[in-house]
């Protein structure tokens, strides 16, 4: 599951609005541009958590790799990095 931070924040904003309006479902558009109607709010909350967890995991991996590249002192050291 992939999403940009902006996409997660937009989904979270839509979720927050739906909750404030006492809605029990909301429509969402997925990564492939398919519309899903009447998605239960509880399911959207789970999606936000899963997307956020995935984003943070990828962000941490990116930073680890950038640190390894920064600390490499030779091309050979860079080539040894496991991407």
Domain borders along the chain are 5-79
Q: How does the average pLDDT of the chain come out, rounded?
A: 95
Read off the tokens for 41. Answer: 């709010």
State the pLDDT at residue 24. Answer: 98
Best CA proximity match to 14, nearest among 32, 30, 28, 31: 28
Determine the pLDDT at residue 31.
Answer: 84
Neighbouring-strand partners of residue 28:
36
Percent of the chain, pLDDT > 90?
90
48-72 CB burial, b ≥16 within 10 A, e <16: beebbeebeeeeeeeeeeeeeeeee
């Amino acid at each position: 599951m992939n999403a940009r931070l902006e996409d997660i924040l937009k989904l979270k904003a839509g979720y927050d609005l739906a909750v404030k309006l006492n809605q029990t479902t909301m429509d969402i558009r997925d990564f492939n541009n398919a519309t899903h109607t009447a998605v239960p709010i509880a399911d959207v909350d789970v999606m936000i958590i899963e997307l956020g967890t995935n984003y943070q995991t990828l962000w941490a991996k990116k930073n680890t790799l950038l640190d390894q590249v920064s600390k490499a002192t030779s091309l050979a050291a860079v080539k040894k990095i496991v991407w």
